[in-house]
Structure 1
Amino acid sequence: TQLIAAYRQIALRAHDRGLRVVGGTILPFQGWHKWTPERESVRAAVNEWIRGTDEFDGVVDFDAATCDPGQPLRLLPAYDSGDHLHPSDAGYQAMADAVDLKLLRPALSFPG
């Protein structure tokens, strides 16, 4: 609830300033030394909200782009830097590849 409230505040404040807001889901992290079922429950709830809310101008599903299909609570081994929390270079590339650049175009246009 607190994370969702924070995301809502960020989106509202950005929209009030005329900015586009693209939400990104939280990556899987099972295997990290601080992973717990309770933390996973929070991640799942926040990701479900991000995917379903209309408070963002677009969404990038980093979770889907980086998870191991056979163990969706974990990063794909090729995308895991080794700590089960941070992506490897290949993981960051998968995240970049998941971004639809059309979502960013309005933010990249400059006057003149």
Structure 2
Amino acid sequence: PQVSAEEVIAGYRELIALAHARGIKVIGGTILPFEGAEYHTPRSEAKRAAINEWIRTSGAFDAVVDFAKVMASPSDPLRLDPAYDSGDFKHPNDVGYRRMAEAIDLGAL
């Protein structure tokens, strides 16, 4: 979709504010790498990078899980680690989802 990083971030800010107004904690999770997927382009990668940087550094969330970091291929951080890839370059397999679960600090919940 033709949605800018700024529009996505504005949506996150709105959802976070609504949750916080109701006393609900919000834990942000970075967007996984997806190079090789059919919709990966330089533009989509730039948006992912900008959104992930905001998620990591904005302080808007009560906690952050850096899924992109733990799921990236050691040899190419723009791709999912093949050990965690379901085969479509964008969705984790069962081992990948387990790795994501292990990355969550349960104390943050």
2:7 aligned residue: 2
Taking only the aligned residue pairs, the percentage that are identical comes to 55
Q: What TM-score, normalized by structure 2, do the two folds share? A: 0.94
1:85 aligned residue: 90
CA deviation vs aligned residue, 1:45-88 (integer Å, no higher than 9, x gap): 00000000111100000001100021000000010000001001
**Runs of 4+ more than 4 Å apart:** none
Structure 2: 5+ residue stretches without partners: 1-5
Q: CA deviation at 1:2?
A: 0.6
Q: Does 1:42 align with 2:38?
A: no
Task: Kindly tell me the number of residue pairs found equivalent between the two proteins.
Answer: 104
Structure-1 separation of matches of 2:45 and 2:54: 14
- Out of 13, 18, 21, the position equivalent to 2:23 is 18
Which residue identity does 1:46 align to in structure 2?
I
Structure 1: 5+ residue stretches without partners: 105-112
